[in-house]
Structure 1
Amino acid sequence: MNTTCTPKEALQKLEHFCAYQERCHAEVVSKLYSLKMTSDESDNIVVQLIEGNFLNETRFACSFARGKHRIKHWGKIRIVNELKAKHISSTNITLALKEIDPEEYETTFNQLAERCWNSVQEKNILKKRKKFCDYMLRRGYESNFVYEKVTFLEKAEND
């Protein structure tokens, strides 16, 4: 960023920043810091953004959860961890997870699992299992789902 700007200019920049895509408070505060705003000015601008409905943590969390699941095929555990890293409250995290339809979640999980299992080029079944499980767990899917699925896929492959 260039040198400092006035609080009014900063507010306009942040309105555009928040209008472009949903933002969490931490992202906005970080942006204000890069604009060299004092903490009082930052607090004031954040309050104005909330009052103007440019900044809404609940809306951000719900949008984040929907998007990361639908586009990146992340599981709930990864979504929760990423939201916690952005300092989102547990109440908003709970609301965000309700945005993911259970049937859609299961369908996405199954499609991703099948694709992953079929793409692992490994002759040793133990290594294949490990690669599959590591991938699915990294994606943020629940371990009980992953282990049930790997057993099912292995059995189906051997039949």
Structure 2
Amino acid sequence: MQPEKKLFTFDEIKQKLVNYCVYQDRCHAEVEQKMREFVLIPEAKEEIILYLLKENYLNEERFTRSYIRGKFYIKNWGKTKIKIHLKQKGITEKLITKCFDEIDNGDYLSIIEKIYENYFSKQKGLREYQKKSKTIKYLLSRGFEYENILQVIEN
């Protein structure tokens, strides 16, 4: 049995969604997911989305740029993993590619190097090639590209 949805006026719902967008940059999919919590007719949903867009509370490019910065500089994710997660949120390939200029190439390679050295040094009781292989797999799982990993290892 589904819990009873609380009823709000149109303006209250609109204000709740404004607050939701102000708290943190959101994409369309997140806002639409949040709207499912409320009882709304399709026209009201459309009107709220248009309002959020017009007042710049909802901005897909700003969301994408802040998402990329956060996942790279805070969580140290690679571009591949970031791209996959953004696609799951319904962001277009074109916009993702455009926004990847948020990541400085020098920073990107230095993060790979830092993670590589850190992870490699923690491997105990393994031969050199096993440590290297395990570390490369780890970096791939973090979303870094094989070519960039090799470039860092060779330098």
Give 1:122 shift.
Answer: 4.2
Q: How does 1:22-33 map to 2 (within 5 A)?
A: 22-33=25-36
Between the two proteins, what is the percent identity of the paired residues?
34
Residue deviations 1:134-155 (CA, integer Å, cap 9, x gap): 21011110012224545x49xx
1:136 alignment partner in structure 2: 139
- Where 1:98 maps in the other structure, the secondary structure is helix
Indicate conservation of the 8 Å contact 2:109/2:152, yes or no.
no
Indicate conservation of the 8 Å contact 1:63/1:96, yes or no.
no
Indicate conservation of the 8 Å contact 2:64/2:99, yes or no.
yes
Name the CA distance, whole Å, in 2 between partners of 1:81 and 1:72: 15
Indicate conservation of the 8 Å contact 1:4/1:35, yes or no.
yes
Indicate conservation of the 8 Å contact 1:62/1:95, yes or no.
no
Name the CA distance, whole Å, in 2 between partners of 1:117 and 1:43: 51
Unaligned ranges ≥5, structure 1 = 154-159
1:34 to 26, 32, 37: 37
**In the alignment, does 2:20 pair up with 1:17?**
yes
2:46 alignment partner in structure 1: 43
Name the count of aligned residue pairs: 152
1:111 to 104, 111, 114: 114
Amino acid at match of 1:78: K
Amino acid at match of 1:117: F
1:74 alignment partner in structure 2: 77
Unaligned ranges ≥5, structure 2 = none
Q: How does 1:45-64 map to 2 (within 5 A)?
A: 45-64=48-67
TM-score by length of structure 2 reads: 0.88
Name the CA distance, whole Å, in 1 between partners of 2:16 and 2:103: 32
Name the CA distance, whole Å, in 1 between partners of 2:125 and 2:25: 41
Indicate conservation of the 8 Å contact 2:112/2:152, yes or no.
no
Which one is further off, 34-43 or 133-142?
Answer: 34-43
Name the CA distance, whole Å, in 2 between partners of 1:37 and 1:149: 52
Indicate conservation of the 8 Å contact 1:4/1:37, yes or no.
no
